[in-house]
Structure 1
Amino acid sequence: MSTTEAVEPQTEANTEDRWAAVRDMPPSAKLVVKILDYEETLTQSQIAEESLLPPRTVRYALSRLEEEGAVDSRFSFSDARKRLYTLKI
């Protein structure tokens, strides 16, 4: 049982560290992170649709998250005008 007790605090600490980058972010950015945590890869318009946030708010949240290194973006192969966003943390 002592092995299990030693593992649990490390797991909780890793979870705490994972969200440290977004802890001081606005609520909209936290919502975007949570959506990407569930859906893995989405476009900006898909995030706006899922979150019910205005596209401008989603765009701002994504730019803040990219600055913090919490989100990674790449061009979509199916439509080069769109970017795909994935959670990096």
Structure 2
Amino acid sequence: MSAPDAAQPEVAEETEQTGWDAVHELPPSAKLVAKVLEYNGTLTQSQLAEETMLPPRTVRYALNRLEEADVVHSRFSFSDARKRIYALAVESADGQR
């Protein structure tokens, strides 16, 4: 019986997914928000809540998950600096951003 070789590094099972592959692993609310952004372009959080008919808290959670996965990015609104504008950071199914 031999001892395990300590010199061999362990292989990580998880691989980091990017783009739409990362969206497949997210909750349904995040998928819906991503699709609405794909269809509409850039929207504020309140506009996303209106378009998706999800509660604002759920939209906020979905946006946080999408940002963690680098699927969406945000910037401050030029017309109202209190608001953030969200847009997809991945290509849509038809190859557009």
TM-score range relative to shorter protein: 0.7 to 0.9
Larger displacement relative to structure 2 (17-26 or 79-88) = 17-26
- Deviation track 1:19-65 (CA, whole Å, cap 9, x = no partner) reads 10101100000000000000010000000000000000000000010
Aligned residues: 73
User: Per the alignment, in what secondary structure is the counterpart of residue 72 of structure 1?
Assistant: strand
Residue of structure 2 equivalent to 1:44: 45
Secondary structure of the corresponding residue to residue 66 of structure 1: helix
Matched with 2:70 is: 69
**Runs (5+) with no aligned partner, structure 2:** 1-17, 91-97
Spell out the pairing of 1:1-89 with structure 2 (5 A cutoff): 18-89=19-90
Name the residue aligned to 1:3.
none
State the alpha-carbon separation in 1 of the partners of residues 79 and 36 from structure 2. Answer: 22
- Give the alignment's Cα RMSD to 1 decimal: 1.0
SS class of match (2:34): helix
8 Å contact from structure 2 (residues 23, 31) kept in 1: yes
Write the letter of the residue equivalent to 2:71: A
Which has the larger Rg? 2
More helix by share: 1
Matched residues, percent identical? 68
- Structure 1 distance, partners of 2:49, 2:43, is 10
> Given the two structures, how large is their TM-score scaled by the length of structure 1?
0.80
TM-score (norm 2): 0.73
- Alpha-carbon distance between aligned partners in 2 of 1:20 and 1:41, rounded to the nearest angstrom: 21
